[in-house]
Structure 1
C-alpha cells in the first residue's frame, strides 16, 4: 500500500472520530462578557457530561479553575480549534437541572439582565455550591545540603511542607506564613524552580447544621496575660453575665464585628463551640394527621368549583381569588390541592415571609404529613438541601415556602399558589432581580398547570387583568362562619396631643385594650419602626445624628445602648455630646418598637407584652416559638413591625391598633398609597377572626387622607377605582411598564456623569434603531436614599412596553456601559416593574 493511501486512510479515521462540545455557563463572569462558552468533552467524560450537570473548567488566559453548568452538548461539525479547552471534571453524578430548568435559565437571563450562571444557581440550594480550593505540595525531596541554595523565605516554606508531609490548602498555608513577606511571589518562584506544585479540587459547601457559640474558657479568671481592648473587655463582660451566647448575639448587643470574638479565641480567653441544630425542625409535625372533610360555605364552594374547572381544562390558566380578610381562602387551597394530588401532580404554595410559614406549615403537615417540604431562608443549609432532595427524589409533592419555593424541583406540577400575591417580598432585591410571580407563570405554562393568585388586597395590575377577563376571577365577600369584619375607628393624634396625651396610645385605643384584657382577650399593635427612638438630634444646633456611610438617620436601640443604621449595620454607643457643636444636648425623637414596649408596660402594667421585630427574633425558630406562646395565651399583647400585620390567625384577638399610619403614605413612590392601603387592611383584618367581634384603631396625624377612610371601610373596590384613574392619567402600570436603570458607585460625580451618559446613549439608539418602541424617559435623579454603604445611587426611569425588542435595547446598553473603562467601578443595572422604585 502506498504511503499516500495510508495517509488518506488515517485522515478518514480522524474524520470518523466524533468530537463533542459542551455549552457551559461559567461562574463569576460579568454581564457584558457572559455567554455559553464552548468546551471540548474528553472521551472519558462523555458518559457523565450531561446538560444540567456542573463541571470544573479552565477559564481565561490564566486557565483559572471555575465552576460551570452544562447548558447543552452538541457534536462538533468540524475539527475544534486548538483554542477550545477541555472540561476538567464533571461534579455531579446526575443532572441537577431538568430540561425545564435549562429552558428557565435562558429565560431568566433574557428577562432580568443577569449572567447565565447567576440564573442557574437559583435552581439548586446553596448547600450544593462548590468551592474551588488550591492545595500545595513539594514535587521532590529537598536535601539538607541543597537548602542553602534557596532564600530564607523559600527554606521556611520547604521545611514547613516537609514537616506536614501532605498537600496543604492555600488558605491554611497563608495563615501559617502570615509573617512571611511576599508569600505569593515566593510560592511562584518555588513553582518555577520545579520544587512546588499545586492542584485544584472542588469541595461542596454543606452546612454542619450547628450554631456557632462563644464562652469564656475560665469564667472565674479575671486576670489575662494580654491587654484587652475596650471592645474586647465589653464582650468578656457580656459573657460573664450571660455564660454563653451566639456570635450573632454578641455582635448585636456589643456592636462589635466578628473579628473581636475571633481575636479573643486566638488569645485563648474564649472558645467557640457548636450548638446542634436539627435538620428538620418540622419533623414532629408529621405525627398528627387528620383527613377531615372540608366544609365550604356556598361562596367558597362556587369559587372552588370554578377553580377546579380551570384546573381540569389541562390548559395553562391564571386566576385571582379575591377574598376579604378571614374569608377562608386557605380552605379553598386545601380542597384544590386534594384534587391535584389525586392526579399525582405536585403543588407549590408560596407565602411572602418566613413569619407566615409556621401557621401554614402546621395546617399542611396535619393534612398531608411527610408529603410536605418546606423552603425558606430560615432553614439551615443542610435542612434546605435535605428538603430539596426529598422533592427531587419524589418523596415530597407539596412545597410550602417563601420566594425560593418557586424553584422547587417538582417533575410534574398541577398547581402553584401565590398567597398574598401583592407582597413585594416575592421580588428579589439582588441579581437576578426576578419576581416569583413571573417564574410561576413560566413553570405553569411549561406544565399546563393552574396559577392561583390570592389576596384581600391584590396588586392593581392583577385586579385590572381580572376585570378585563384576561385571567379568572372569584370573590369571597364574607368572613367564614360567624366572624364579621371589625369596627374601625380613625384616631386623630393632633387632638390627643392638644388634650395633653403624649403617649403612643390614643385614649380610645387604651380604653379598648383595658376592656379586652379584663375579658381575657388579646390584642395586636403595629408600629413599623424597630428600635427605641427613630432619630437623635441636638437641641443646641439642630444637628441630626446620621450614618457616616448612608443618607439616613441613626436609630437608638435601648437594648444595647447604641445608635444603629438599619441599612449598613453601622453602630456607635449613644452619647449626649453632639458631634457637630459638642454640646451635651443630644435628645431622642420618634418612637420604635422598643420604646412602644416600654410605654405599654407603664400604661398596661398588668398585661403580658410580647415584642416581635427582627431584633427580638434573631435566634432560629424564635418567631414560631413566640407565636405559639401567644397562641397559648402566655402573652396578652403583641407589639411589632409589619411581620405582625399579615397572615396571623388568632381567634382570641379582638383589638388591633396601628400606632402610626402616616409613615408609608408620603414616600417618593407611585405605589405608596397601594402599599399603605394593603398594610392597613391586612393588620385591621387580624381582629375578630373568631366568634368575638373585633375593633381596630388607626392612629394618624392626617385623618383627612382618603386612603385611611377606604382602609377603615375595608373597601378595596373603591380604592381600586380611585387608584386606577390616577395610574391611567399618569401612565403607570397597568397602562405602561416601568423600567428603572440604577447607577451605583463610590464617586458621586462619576455616578451622575454615568447616568447622564446613559440617557444620551439611550436617546440615540432609541431614535436610530428602535424608533417603533413607545418610550417616555424621565431624566436621571438621586435615589430616595442617595447614599448607602458609602455608595452613591442614581436612577433613570423609562415608561415603556416590556417587549423582547425593548429588553434587547436595554441589554445592549448595559453591555456597552459594562465595557466602558471610563465608568469602571460603577454598577449599572436594570429592573422592569420593581415593587419599589430605587
Structure 2
C-alpha cells in the first residue's frame, strides 16, 4: 500500500476496532487506490468473523469488481443485481441466508441482503444518484446502509473522488469522520486537461462536434498504439427530429418529451416510456420532405468518428449496447483486450473503470447538464467531468483530457479541470446556504398523477389548500404553489406537484405522512398520490 492508503487503512481499521464512529467518508482522488483499501478493510472484517456488503452504482461496474473481489475472497462472494434470473437470485439469496457468503456485491437492492453480523457496508462512488430509488418503494440505499450498520454495530464507508455535497458537509461539520487520499498510486500525475472553447471553434467554421484539437489527440493516440475514451451524456443518434420548414418536433404521444432518433434501429424512441416508431418520410404538420435529426448522441459519435478520421475501430457503451445478458462484460472485455481504439459512451463509462491503455479522454458537450434546471446541475457537471477525466493515464503514462465546452469559465467546469473538489465545494455550499437548499434544507415532493388532466390539477390544488389550512404544518415551512411537474405527461399520465422545503426532515415527514394517509389510497382508479423526500432529481 502507498503511504496514503496505509494512513486511510489505519483510521478505518481503528474505527472498526474501537467502534468510535458509525460512518466514514473516504474522499480519494481518481486513481488513488480506493479499491485496494476496500479489499483490505473487508479482509480484516472477515478475519474478525464478520460479513461485508459492497454497493456499486451501476451493473456495469459489477463484472470488474467481482473479478477483483473473487480473486481475493474466492467463493465466499455473492453477486446480487436486477439482471439475475429469479432462479439465480434465489440461489444466491439462499447461500447468503445459510451463512456460506461473507461478501455481497451488488447494486442498491443488495443493501437488503440477509447477512448476519455485518461488519462493514461500503458505498462505492457514494455520490451517484442511482442509490436513490424513485419508484415505490422509494428508499435511499445509503440511508438503509447507515441504519443496518448501526443495528449490527458496524461501519458504513462512503467512498468517492467527488463526494456528494451533503455527505462532505456532514464530514467537515463533524457529523461523520473524513479520511482523504489526495495522491495517485505510485505518484502518477493527474491527467493534463486541454480546454477547447467551442464558441471559438464555431467562429472558425467548425461544423461538427469534433474540434481540431480532439482529432489531433486521437490521431496521436492511435499512432502510439494507445486507447481513447469519448464521453457524451446522451445515448441514441440525435436528440430530436425537426422539420426545417415549419419547426415541427417529433414528440412522444404518451410523454411530454421529444423522441430520440436511433439510427442503427431506424426508430424514434422515447427514453421515458420506451415508445418507439418509424421516422415519417414527410412532416406530419406541413407535409414537407424536411425532417432532419438534430443534436448529438453516442450512436452519432460512433458513426461520425471513422468518417472524420478513417481507420479508427470504435466500440460503444450505453444502455442500448449493454442491455443483453452479460452485455456490460462483453463490451468492457472487448475494449480491455484492445480490439478497439476508441470507446464512446455515456456516464456509465465514467464510473470506476480501470483501463491501463487509455491515455486520452475526450469530453464532448461538457456543459450539457448545466441547463437542466436542477439545483444539482453544477454538482453533477463537476462530478461527471472529474470522473470521466479520471479514466485517463491510470498506468505508467500520463493521461490527457480534451474538454470541449461552451462555458469554459463556469465555476464547476474550472474546478473539475483542476480536479479541485474543495474549491468547488466552497463555492457550491455558499450558494446552497444563500438559496436555502440541501444540506441546509430538505425537500419534500407531493405528486398527483392520472389520465384526467383537469382532475389531477383540481386534486393537487385541494391537497395544497388542506396543507395551508393546517396551521401546525406552516411553521418554517416553504410550500410552493400547485404546478405542473417539469415533465407534465409521462407514460400517458398527467402529473402535477407541490414542493415543500424545511430545515427539519422530521417536519417534512409529518406533513407527507399526513397527506399520504389522507389521500394515498383514495381515488386510485382516477389518480395516484405519491410522496418523496430529497429526490435524486427535482426535474
Name the CA distance, whole Å, in 2 between partners of 1:725 and 1:795: 28
SS in 2 for 1:687: coil
Structure 2 counterpart of 1:343, from 44, 48, 51: 48
Superposed structure 1 runs of 4+ greater than 3 Å apart: 801-806, 818-821
Find the counterpart in structure 1 of residue 149 from structure 2: 444
SS in 1 for 2:99: coil
Find the counterpart in structure 1 of residue 528 from structure 2: 827
Trace 1:757-768 onto structure 2 (pairs within 5 A): 757-765=462-470, 767=471
Do the aligned residues in 2 keep the contact of 1:304 with 1:332 (CA within 8 Å)? yes
Find the counterpart in structure 2 of residue 548 from structure 1: 253
Name the CA distance, whole Å, in 2 between partners of 1:509 and 1:563: 30
Larger Rg: 1
Find the counterpart in structure 1 of residue 498 from structure 2: 796
Do the aligned residues in 2 keep the contact of 1:527 with 1:639 (CA within 8 Å)? yes
| Structure 1 position 581 matched with structure 2 position 282 | no
Trace 1:375-414 onto structure 2 (pairs within 5 A): 375-414=80-119
| Structure 1 position 810 matched with structure 2 position 515 | no
SS in 2 for 1:484: coil
What's the CA shift string for 1:463-507, capped at 9, x where partnerless?
A: 011101111111111111142100112211222222222222111
Name the CA distance, whole Å, in 2 between partners of 1:705 and 1:330: 32
Find the counterpart in structure 2 of residue 780 from structure 1: 482
Do the aligned residues in 1 keep the contact of 2:198 with 2:405 (CA within 8 Å)? yes
Find the counterpart in structure 2 of residue 697 from structure 1: 402
Name the CA distance, whole Å, in 1 between partners of 2:273 and 2:35: 38
Do the aligned residues in 2 keep the contact of 1:553 with 1:565 (CA within 8 Å)? yes
SS in 1 for 2:194: strand
Find the counterpart in structure 2 of residue 153 from structure 1: none
Find the counterpart in structure 2 of residue 43 from structure 1: none
SS in 2 for 1:418: strand
Query: Structure 1 residues 789, 803: closer, same or farther in 2, change over 3 A?
Result: closer
SS in 1 for 2:482: strand
Structure 2 counterpart of 1:570, from 248, 260, 275: 275
CA drift of 1:316 comes to 5.3
| Structure 1 position 595 matched with structure 2 position 297 | no
Name the CA distance, whole Å, in 2 between partners of 1:306 and 1:613: 38
Trace 1:688-727 onto structure 2 (pairs within 5 A): 688-727=393-432
Structure 1 counterpart of 2:329, from 618, 624, 628: 624
CA drift of 1:806 comes to 4.0
Do the aligned residues in 2 keep the contact of 1:738 with 1:800 (CA within 8 Å)? yes
Name the CA distance, whole Å, in 2 between partners of 1:432 and 1:575: 39
Name the CA distance, whole Å, in 2 between partners of 1:384 and 1:325: 33
Q: Which structure carries more relative contact order (alpha carbon 8 Å, separation 6+)?
A: 2
Name the CA distance, whole Å, in 2 between partners of 1:605 and 1:414: 53
Name the CA distance, whole Å, in 2 between partners of 1:727 and 1:808: 24
What's the CA shift string for 1:170-193, capped at 9, x where partnerless?
A: xxxxxxxxxxxxxxxxxxxxxxxx
Do the aligned residues in 2 keep the contact of 1:315 with 1:449 (CA within 8 Å)? no
CA drift of 1:388 comes to 1.0
Note the aligned Cα RMSD (angstroms).
1.4
Query: Structure 1 residues 443, 561: closer, same or farther in 2, change over 3 A?
Result: same
Name the CA distance, whole Å, in 1 between partners of 2:510 and 2:295: 47
Name the CA distance, whole Å, in 2 between partners of 1:786 and 1:665: 21
Q: So what's the TM-score if we normalise by structure 1?
A: 0.63
CA drift of 1:303 comes to 1.0
Do the aligned residues in 2 keep the contact of 1:576 with 1:587 (CA within 8 Å)? no
Find the counterpart in structure 2 of residue 518 from structure 1: 223
| Structure 1 position 836 matched with structure 2 position 537 | yes
Find the counterpart in structure 2 of residue 367 from structure 1: 72
Q: Which runs of 5+ in 2 are unaligned?
A: none
Find the counterpart in structure 2 of residue 317 from structure 1: 22
